[in-house]
Structure 1
Amino acid sequence: MTLIRQKGWGDHLDSALDAGIDFVTENLILTRVIGLLLVGGIGLTTRGIISLIANQSNKALEAIRDEKIATLKDELKSLTEISSENKGRFHRTNEAIKAMITNLTPDITQLTPEQLTTIGIRDNVQNNQIYIVLLCVRKILELDQNLQYGEIGKDNERWQEFSDAIRKYQEAKGANTPDGVIDEGGRTQKWLEEDIRNQCLNPPDGG
């Protein structure tokens, strides 16, 4: 004769565990469940026990997932954040561009609103010499106008894109040692200023 023992709540709990409930923090979860069973005789049903354990497990999994996402974001940031070497190269270039803004401002202020419109400067930025010079720099270097100059000094990839364009420009100008950097008072700065005056700030009528 075969005897079949009636399963109790403990058997159902074991079955649930065997079915694949993933306990990331197994010891902590079981401790909480046992504590709930022992304190106050709360009378949890089998379904309630399994639900409680599953909820705790899900919370633990979500916490681990969030931690991994945060770690991945930090790793990506470390890969893209501008290096100290590139930061120094950007600083040199930025100083040269600030000097260019100063030197080109008289040329910009001599242009009428109509002339500025003709060369592609919108009405709302015609008094912004910084914007105009940076627009012209991107134009001469054949860069996408959507490239934000403020981001170049923060991101390795954006700096590299900007630096490669400078290097290509230097090579086209016949520089002996193209290095992808604009130095204040250097030949690359002077070349750019000249080309901006002749090509970017020069309306079609020559005026």
Structure 2
Amino acid sequence: NADKLSPGKQTIAVKATAPGDARFLDSKEKKYTFEFSAKLDSPQISVNKDGDVVYLHIPAVTHATSYSCKVDGVSFTAESGDTDITDRITAGGVHIIEVSATSNNRYFSASSPAMTSYVTYLPLDAPIATYTKTADSITVSWEKVQNASVYLVRYGEYVIYTTDLTLTLPLQEAALNVQAVGSGYYLNSAEALAEEAVLQEAD
């Protein structure tokens, strides 16, 4: 029964026993030696975040000496316990994580890979917004924010979504804020208070 064998070199002794008849003697014992190997169990992995640090948690697997890991196809080796993978999941999106238990004992083969995923959401940069005024209008403009889908402008009673990088509104006494709006794996930026543009005087 293979379940009762320990991986490694094994010896089995076999002998035929006489049935209690004086005419028959027990046979000589014959020994057979063979090698038996086993596959390691897959680790029960998880991903946890503590503050700004993301950890890959690998519980110890019996007979494993290390763990072969991949994050988005990039390989590295880890020990059991918590491994910091923050620098490996900086891009926004879904990251695929695989871990196999391995052993330096040749009688234990690597486990099947355990798989999990982690989603990274990235906040957009706040727009850098400035405005200029005339007697009856205000014009606000801002720099393009990478990965922003639209921009939200709040000015008094006005709440406007736009894909433009400049907007002119009737002048009123109110703060003017611009926010980059994200989608998918990109989160909305903080609202940026527009500052009055400094016009350079001609020489």
TM-score by length of 1: 0.23
| Structure showing the higher strand proportion among its residues | 2
| Structure showing the higher helix proportion among its residues | 1
TM-score by length of 2: 0.23
Which structure is higher in RCO with an 8 Å CA cutoff and minimum separation 6? 1
